[in-house]
Amino acid sequence: MDDLKALLLNPWTFLPIGYVFTILIETPILCVGLSSEHTMWRRVQAGCWLTACTYPIVVLVLPVAVRDYGIYLAFAETFAPLAECVLFWVAFAPLKQPMRDMPAIVLANLASFGIGMQYAMGLIG
Total structural domains in the chain?
Answer: 1
The strand ranges marked E within 1-125 are: none
CA distance 20 to 65: 24
95, part of any domain: yes
Judge whether 26 and 112 are in contact, CB under 8 Å. yes
Residue 3 belongs to a domain: no
In a domain, 1, yes or no: no
Task: Determine whether 5 is exposed, middle or buried from the number of CB atoms within 10 Å of its CB (0-12, 13-18, 19+).
Answer: exposed
Say if 125 falls within a structural domain. no
pLDDT in tens, the chain (125 residues): 677 778 888 999 999 999 999 999 999 999 999 999 999 999 999 999 999 999 999 999 999 999 999 999 999 999 999 999 999 999 999 999 999 999 999 999 999 999 999 988 887 76
User: Is residue 60 a part of any domain in this protein?
Assistant: yes
Helix count and strand count (H, E) for the chain? 6, 0
Which pTM was predicted? Answer: 0.93
Q: Does residue 2 belong to any structural domain of this protein?
A: no
81 domain residue, yes or no: yes
